[in-house]
Structure 1
Amino acid sequence: MTREIVFTQRVEFGDCDPARIVWFPNFFRWLDAASRHFFVSCGVPSWSETERDTGLIGTPLVDTHARFIKTATYGDTLQIRTRIAEWRGKSFVMAYRVLRGDDLLMECEEVRIFAARREDGSIYALPVPADIRRLCE
């Protein structure tokens, strides 16, 4: 069984366009927050701590595919259900389902990497850390 973590997000007036529909980039902002919430809920230390201790700076996004099904508006409370759908050598697929009650509003899959920083400031992918994978399974 794959671990699934729920992140709750309330939609505010400023999250919406003039038609009172959530402006789509806000969904991606919330998914990013849900991703970090997933790792925190699994017991993974802050990225500041992992950077200090191991050089791991976080999990940047390298690819995404989303499907919008229904709209959301201010006052809605959304549940963002997050799980890791696939572990790969240097990346993983994070899957999200955004619901309002029983209504599915959006589905998304993201490919992310565990990243470190070179001396010149550029980033590169690390192999998936075994300890983090164990915490998240």
Structure 2
Amino acid sequence: MYEWLRDYQRLMQEIDYLEFELQRYKKELGRWSRGDLSDVKLTEKSKAANLEEIIRTTEHELAHKMNDMRDAKTLISMFKGLDNQILYLKYVEGMTLESIAEELTYSTSHIYKKHAEIMKSIKFAHEINSHFSFPQYHE
């Protein structure tokens, strides 16, 4: 139903985690190159000896995820219907329901009600999917 929202949120979590890892790797590299571990001798098999390559790989993966995010936003913004507009503005653009009502020229109470209905539908669909095993299509 609104699989795009789940996929978008999953992608955001992946990006957030990659950014966290990248920051952690860079701090660790700093410790080895000019910090408290700069006098410790590394072996070739040591993870710290490969930190620069790990950072490059992580940056590359992050760049791909960011491109995926940009493409997802472009696609999602083209979806029609009030439900999709509400979800896009709330969960992608980060707007409040009050701001969404103003932007879409609906009453705040209508947007609150509509959002509650959407969330109820999503929760119901999630519960149905978690209770039943549907075959997955694989190419």
Quickly name the TM-score band, shorter chain normalised.
under 0.3
Structure exhibiting the larger radius of gyration computed from Cα positions: 2
TM-score by length of 1: 0.23
Which of the pair is proportionally richer in helix?
2
**Which fold has the larger relative contact order, with Cα–Cα distance below 8 Å and residues 6 or more apart in sequence?**
1
TM-score, normalising length from structure 2?
0.23
